[in-house]
Structure 1
Amino acid sequence: MTTIDVAAATRLREAIMSVARAARTHRPDHGLPLTQITVLGYLDRSGTTTVAELADRMHVRVQSLTVSMNKLDDGGLIVRRTDPVDRRRQLVELTEAGRALILDDRAQRDAWLAQSFADNFDDTERGLMMLCVPLFERLASDRGR
């Protein structure tokens, strides 16, 4: 088995982070901080969830989400309701406005990436990068090892 050395791992991490930063700069200005956009993204991917589960996925404390949740609720982007099974828990879900905002956010970043691919890479390079997508997905899912 071939292993990657620390220097190579550092280069890979830095490259991935550079692409992520570049994608963030092409995010539309919705007037929301990144934390609130992140909450909307998690809710869109996970569906209805509890605040505790959301905090766990985001690796933050429930208390850290309170201000963001209040602002998103006040802005009509999420709705909170009592869990009918366990009345002590609160369920959170996206509203249609919240879903539209996060879909617009993604669409603009996807358009930037597609244009960047078209402008900067030939067919062979684009194909090679697309072959790497499942590898990056697997790398991203390896959270605990």
Structure 2
Amino acid sequence: MSEPVAHQQLVGTDQATSLREAMMAVTRQARRHRPAHGMTMTQVGILGDLDRHGVSTVAELAERAQVKVQSLTLSMNRLEELGLITRRADPEDRRRQLVELTEAAHPLLASDRRQRDEWLAKAINTLPDTERGLLMLCIPVLRRLAEQDPD
């Protein structure tokens, strides 16, 4: 049961700013611990999106990345050159392209994720037990927060 509104401690923008900055700092550190595969964050993002969502249209990829379709063109061309994605006409609407991962993309993505996860696990394990426990309790809360749209 939720607390009555009068007794809730609401978070102000200063606290929200602190949380956002802390999450972004961890994200930047994780990005620094990626393998040297020569791909941009946009390219890795496309691969990760396709891994999570499966075969997608270019428009769907752009929408999820919150960019214009044209912004993905160079990255998608490079990923295709590297043999990490394939593009084909949508059989239901030949004007649309369907994009999917190739088998070669899976080990590259796994390596990228593994390296960042290993760094994060090491960093977390330097924390005292209580802080590690608190951090693990935050996981479901952060997931719910990521799914929220308060507007």
Match of 1:47 among 38, 43, 54: 54
- In the TM superposition, what is the alpha-carbon distance from 1:34 to its structure 2 partner? 1.1
TM-score normalised to the size of structure 1?
0.94
Other-structure match for 1:26: 33
CA pair 144-83 structure 1, distance change in 2 beyond 3 A: farther
Report the Cα distance in structure 1 between the residues aligned to 2:62 and 2:148, rounded to whole angstroms: 19
Tell me which stretches of 4 or more aligned residues in structure 1 moved more than 3 Å: none
The equivalent of 1:35 in structure 2 is 42
CA deviation profile, 1:35-62 (whole Å, cap 9, x unmatched) = 1111111111111000000000000000
Secondary structure of the residue aligned to 2:95 is coil
Q: Using a 3 Å threshold, how does the CA distance of structure 1 residues 33 and 104 change in structure 2: closer, same or farther?
A: same
Residue of structure 1 equivalent to 2:144: 138
Q: Quote the RMSD (CA, aligned, Å).
A: 1.1
Q: Which runs of 5+ in 1 are unaligned?
A: none
Q: How many residues align?
A: 144
Aligned-partner Cα distance in 1 for 2:127–2:45: 30
Residues 29 and 13 (structure 1), Cα distance of their counterparts in 2 relative to 1, 3 Å cut: same
Is the aligned partner of 1:4 residue 2:17?
A: no
Higher Cα Rg, which structure: 2
Give SS of 1:88's match. Answer: strand
* Alignment of 1:70 onto 2:80: no
Instruction: Please give the alpha-carbon distance, in whole angstroms, between the structure 2 residues aligned to 1:26 and 1:143.
Output: 30
SS of match in other structure, 1:36 = helix
* Cα deviation digits, residues 79-117 of structure 1 (max 9, x gap): 111111221111001111112111110010001111111
CA distance in 1, matches of 2:95, 2:150: 30
Query: Which residue number in structure 1 is paired with residue 3 of structure 2?
Result: none
Match of 2:108 among 101, 110, 113: 101
The amino acid of 1:30's aligned partner reads: H
Secondary structure of 2:52's aligned partner: helix
The percent identity for this pair of structures is 57
2: CA distance between counterparts of 1:77 and 1:129?
Answer: 35
By how many angstroms is 1:143 displaced? Answer: 4.3
